[in-house]
Amino acid sequence: MSDAASEVLRLEALSKSYNIGLPNEAEVLHEIDLVIGRSDFAALVGPSGSGKSTLLNLIGLLDTPSSGELTLLGQATSGMADAGRTTLRGSSIGFVFQFHHLIQAFSALDNVLMPLMLTRGKPDQAAIERARELLAAVGLDTFADTRPNRLSGGQQQRVAIARALITEPALLLADEPTGNLDTRTADEVFELFRRFNRERGCAVLLVTHDPRLSSTCDRTINLVDGRIVSDAMNA
C-alpha cells in the first residue's frame, strides 16, 4: 500500500482540536497516520467518544484538521480552498449515514440523482439510467417513483447507498450505516457494501459498533482516545 497509485487516501500526523471555550483546546484526534488502499474494505471501530465520527468527517472533507496532511487521490488538501475541497469531495467521496437524510418530498429516483443535481444541474438521460441501474442493484427497481416515507428503514438505507454511489466515488464512507436496522436487514445492507466494493472497486471505510460486522470486513482499524491502537487485516 506504499505505492501512491494504489492509495485512495493518506493521512499524515492528522490532528483535530475543538475550541470549547476553555484555556486549552480539546484535542480529540492525535497525529493520525493512515493509508486506505483503492480496494480496501475496512471497519473503523472504537469506544464511544474515541473520535470515529470526527475522523470520518475529516476524511470526507466535511471538516478541516487542526494540523497534519490529508491526501485524497493524490491531492494534498491542507492548503486547498473551500471550493476545491467541495469539488474533490463531490467527485470522489460517497457518504452513507445512520440516518439516511433522504428528502421526503422527492421520489427514490430523484433522491439518488440528488448529488448529481447539486454539482451538475439537471440530470441527463444517461444519469437517470445510471440511477435506475443503481436502484435495481440495491433491489429497489420497482420503487423508483416511491417517496422515502413509503419505504421501510432498510429500503431507505438502500436508497441512501444508491445515492452515495451515483457519482462513482473512489471512496465510500459510512457512519453506523446499519445502526438503526434489525440484524437481518443490517446484514443485507452490509452485503451491498461488500458487493459494491468488489464489483465497482470502490474503497469502503465504515464505522460500526457491531463486532459481528467489523469482523467480516477485510481490515479493522481500532481508534481509542483519538489514536489508532491497532490496524490489521482480519483473518
Nearer to ligand ATP, 44 or 114 (CB): 44
- Is residue 28 involved in binding ligand ATP (CB under 6 A)? yes
Among 1, 13, 49, 105, binds ligand ATP (CB under 6 A): 49
CB of 60 to ligand ATP, least distance (A): 13
**Type of residue found at 184:** R
CB of 52 to ligand ATP, least distance (A): 4
- Is residue 24 involved in binding ligand ATP (CB under 6 A)? no
Strand 26-37 versus strand 219-224 pairing type: unpaired
Among 9, 46, 123, 134, binds ligand ATP (CB under 6 A): 46
Nearer to ligand ATP, 49 or 84 (CB): 49
- Is residue 52 involved in binding ligand ATP (CB under 6 A)? yes
**Region near ligand ATP per CB under 6 A, out of 43-51, 79-87, 147-155, 210-218:** 43-51
Among 54, 178, 197, 220, binds ligand ATP (CB under 6 A): 54
**Region near ligand ATP per CB under 6 A, out of 47-55, 93-101, 115-123, 138-146:** 47-55
- Is residue 48 involved in binding ligand ATP (CB under 6 A)? yes
State the distance between the two ends of the chain, measured CA to CA, in whole angstroms.
18
What is d(CA 235, CA 229) in angstroms, rounded to the nearest whole number?
A: 18
* 32 DSSP β-pair partners: 14
CB of 62 to ligand ATP, least distance (A): 12
- Is residue 65 involved in binding ligand ATP (CB under 6 A)? no
CA atoms within 13 A on the CB side of 104: 3
Residue 180: C-alpha distances to residues 104, 135, 156 (Å): 18, 21, 11
Nearer to ligand ATP, 18 or 150 (CB): 18
Nearer to ligand ATP, 93 or 138 (CB): 93
**Region near ligand ATP per CB under 6 A, out of 5-13, 44-52, 136-144, 153-161:** 44-52
- Answer yes or no: are the C-beta atoms of 68 and 223 closer than 8 Å: no
- Answer yes or no: are the C-beta atoms of 173 and 9 closer than 8 Å: no
Q: Can you give the binding site for ligand ATP, defined by CB under 6 A?
A: 18, 20, 28, 46, 48-54
